[in-house]
Amino acid sequence: MDQSHGFIEVDLFPEEVDSLDHPYVTSLKEMLEEVALQYHCRLLSLDIDAGTVIFSFDSQELMADILKILKNDE
């Protein structure tokens, strides 16, 4: 059965950061891939739109942990 894991959307960078090739985004991608390895999962998607990062992993546990962290930072 194919499960949807949803997406996390975070305003992370200035609006000028709007390309997957931007150094900020490539660094973030490397970090997200390292976290995925620690959770034995994969980074399924990563996109950027005017500084807003949208990403998804194939681990519900990791997605839940990230949401908890983001909620605590509010």
Largest Cα separation within the chain, whole Å, is: 39
Comparing 3-12, 14-23, 42-51, 64-73, the range with the smallest average pLDDT is 3-12
Residue 43, beta-bridge partner list: 57
Domain ranges (residues) in the chain: 8-73
Read off the pLDDT band of 64 (50, 70, 90): very high
Q: Is the pLDDT of residue 14 over 90?
A: yes
The predicted structure's pLDDT at residue 4: 61
Report the 10 Å Cβ neighbour count for 47.
13
- Mean of all residue pLDDT scores within the chain: 92
